[in-house]
Structure 1
Amino acid sequence: MTLFPRLRVSAYVICADGDGRLLLSRWIGYEDGPQWSLAGGGLDPVEDPRQGALREVFEETGYVVELDALLGVDTEHFVSHRHVPGGYDGVDVHAVRIVYRGHVVGGELTHEVGGTSDLAAWLTREELAAEPAVSLVKAGLTLYDDGDGVPVAPHEPRPALPGGVRVEQRVAAYGTGPDGDTAGALLVHGADPADAVRAEFRTQHGRDVTVGRPRDASSSVEPLGDDAVRWTVRLDYDVS
């Protein structure tokens, strides 16, 4: 079987109101029908994760939000038989999902039209438990319940690319220990970032480490010529 490798980096925000209800977006789904998801989605080319998270939440829910903390990163590696390019038997998907905690500062609840979601709503956990939901919801709420996360610094939006520019997309994962030692590398397709950091510490420093929650998710853009750029999303972890 010949598979087309596809890297998808996305960002999501978990917001709760004063009654503990969660802001969610309903993905339109496939044959199984709609399913609830965290508000957020795939990054646009060269977008910073923070920028993409805020844009996606506004598009799917109508709310303007501010980010409070980076909660964690969830990854999934699977084979899909949807949107398969010609000449391939399937798509080898490497999904890297960055999850933030945030709060609403403006806007009003508005359903997305013509996108990949059709409803937005504030749901209690009890209401959510009775509804179909994608696996990211459980993974994201586990991160949400696991602590306050790492505060997020404000970020200036990066301008969109002009048309016709080719984007080479990559993800890198690095870890820093209490003594300042750092190790990391670009992710091999399908690799888990925390596993990659552990392997690089073993290779570069000759010791095993425990990888904690990520402390930063950022991105950089490097020109490769007149019609191409290299866009790298970097995940930084604390290790012990």
Structure 2
Amino acid sequence: MDAPFEKRLRRAARIIVLDPDNRALMFRFDVADRPPFWVTAGGECEPHENFDEAARRELFEETGITADPGPQIAQTTPEFITVEGEPVQADERYYIVRVDEARIDTANHTELEQQVMTQHRWFTHAELHNWPEAIFPENIAAMIEDYLAS
């Protein structure tokens, strides 16, 4: 009998970027054979990085923002298939970064990010609850509410 398939652990730092109106920056992914979906900035930790270091690097690479990601506010452990087609067990750590203006720079996106991250926009709280396409993490509105209430 074959041994059960073990998914690779994918450590990732995710950053919820909030503008002065508490709108959240989200990126739309368009991947072949999947419905479009929206996610926060962030990505996989390099082997030598801890989550805080990855959050700082990913924030700059995906948004052009240089900032301290602050304390971790949440952790999720979803299972999913990466845009490259690999099934993984994720360990995702979430951070919140406040910015003074709703402007980002995507010039540092990788070739793959340029292909699949087709749009970005700032979502209001109501939009996070009612958007017709999938938004990940599914509980992002609650994460932001908890942060703003603290």
TM range (shorter): 0.7 to 0.9
Under a length normalisation based on structure 2, what TM-score does the superposition of the two structures give?
A: 0.73
Shift of 1:64: 2.4
Q: Work out whether residues 79 and 90 of structure 2, in 8 Å CA contact, stay in contact via their aligned partners in 1.
A: yes
Instruction: Return the structure number with greater strand share.
Output: 1
Equivalent in the alignment of 1:114: 111
Equivalent in the alignment of 2:17: 15
Q: CA separation of 1:126/1:62 partners in 2, compared to 1, >3 Å: closer, same or farther?
A: same
Q: Which of the pair has more CA radius of gyration? A: 1
Under a length normalisation based on structure 1, what TM-score does the superposition of the two structures give?
A: 0.49
Q: CA separation of 1:3/1:54 partners in 2, compared to 1, >3 Å: closer, same or farther?
A: same
Unaligned runs of 5+ in 1: 85-90, 151-240
Q: Work out whether residues 27 and 121 of structure 2, in 8 Å CA contact, stay in contact via their aligned partners in 1.
A: yes
Shift of 1:114: 1.8
Q: CA separation of 1:21/1:44 partners in 2, compared to 1, >3 Å: closer, same or farther?
A: same
Within a 5 Å distance, the mapping from 1:64-75 to structure 2 comes to 64-75=66-77
Secondary structure in structure 2 of the residue aligned to 1:53: helix
Q: CA separation of 1:60/1:126 partners in 2, compared to 1, >3 Å: closer, same or farther?
A: same
- Count of aligned pairs: 141
Equivalent in the alignment of 1:154: none
Unaligned runs of 5+ in 2: none
- One-letter amino acid of the counterpart of residue 114, structure 1: E
Q: Work out whether residues 8 and 94 of structure 1, in 8 Å CA contact, stay in contact via their aligned partners in 2.
A: yes
Shift of 1:83: 4.0
- Deviations along 1:43-81, one digit per CA (max 9) or x if unpaired, are 11111211111211222222223323321111124688x
Within a 5 Å distance, the mapping from 1:119-158 to structure 2 comes to 119-128=119-128, 129-136=130-137, 138-147=138-147
Which is bigger in relative contact order (C-alpha 8 A, separation at least 6)? 2
Shift of 1:42: 0.9
